[in-house]
Amino acid sequence: MQLKSFQIRELQEAVALERSETAYKVLFVQLYQSAISFTTTITKNEEVAEELYADAMMKLWFMESKLTDIKDLKLYIFILLKNSALNYLKKERKQRFVSIDDIDRGDVPQTRSVEESLVFNELENMLAQVIDKLPSKCQIVYKLIKHEGFSYKHTAEILGLSVNTIEGHMSNALKKIGTFLKSLNLKD
């Protein structure tokens, strides 16, 4: 289940104005997978991603009524996560400056364990593996658009890249996935 933007808005208001823990829990749980997957692609470390997500959500809770000032909460959370993930990389690599262009360095994350892979059916599983092997930036752009339903503009805003670059990465990701699928010799 993907939350629709009007649903997010409703939950956001329930948290801000009624301090509803139930609404807060729904937001936390429903955005969890997307947020962790996104942040892990940058940090290459799932545990760190979990911590950063918890910190971001904690921040939202303590914004209290100011939370309603945020126009697009999901976009806001992803921007927050991108910034804290890059900050983490900066500390980790002891660099003064780290941008989204630097994230392809370092280890390839093991995002899917063997047991988890068994849950997917075979094609789904292979597709997931191809996506995992895409260059990090391609992968992030692909997931933000395909899985999260962000527009070019919002994806560009989250990553601090231009709209043209986003389209380039997305077409590139699709092409790589397409080439792989074709190699399987698909039949109906």
Partner 1 sequence: MSEERFYQLISRKLAGEASVIELDELECYVRAYPDKKKLYDLLIQAPVDNDKGILKAEQAYALHQLKLQLQQPAHSKIPVSRKRFWNNHKTKSYILIAATIVMVIAAFLTFKTELIIPARIEVAATKGSITNIKLPDGSTVWLNSDSKITYRNNFGYGHRELRLTGEAFFDVKHDPKTPFIIHTDKINIKVLGTAFNVKSYPSDNYVETSLIRGKIDVNFTDRPSEHITLRPREKLTVNKDQTKGTITSLLSGDTGSKIRLENVTTLSKGDSIVAETAWLQNKIVFDNTSFSEIAGVLERRFDIKVKFKNEKYKLYYYTGIFQQESLREILDLMKITKPFNYEINKKVVTIN
Q: How far, in Å, CA of 186 to CA of 116, rounded? A: 25
In the bound state with partner 1, the residue whose beta carbon lies nearer, of 20 and 172, is: 172
Q: Among residues 45, 43, 82, 74, which one has the least CA distance to residue 161?
A: 82
CB 43 within 8 A of CB 157: no
CB 166 to partner 1: min, Å: 8
CB 103 to partner 1: min, Å: 18
Hey, which residues between 89 and 148 contact partner 1 (CB under 8 A)?
116, 119-120, 123-124, 127, 145-147
In the bound state with partner 1, the residue whose beta carbon lies nearer, of 160 and 178, is: 178
Tell me the angle at which helices 21-43 and 73-93 cross, rounded to the nearest 10 degrees.
40
Q: How far, in Å, CA of 153 to CA of 48, rounded? A: 28
CB 65 to partner 1: min, Å: 14
Q: How far, in Å, CA of 186 to CA of 183, rounded? A: 8
Q: Binding residues for partner 1, per CB under 8 A?
A: 1, 21, 25, 28-30, 32-33, 45, 47-48, 50-51, 54, 57-58, 61-62, 116, 119-120, 123-124, 127, 145-147, 149-152, 155, 167, 170-172, 174-175, 177-178, 181-182, 186-188
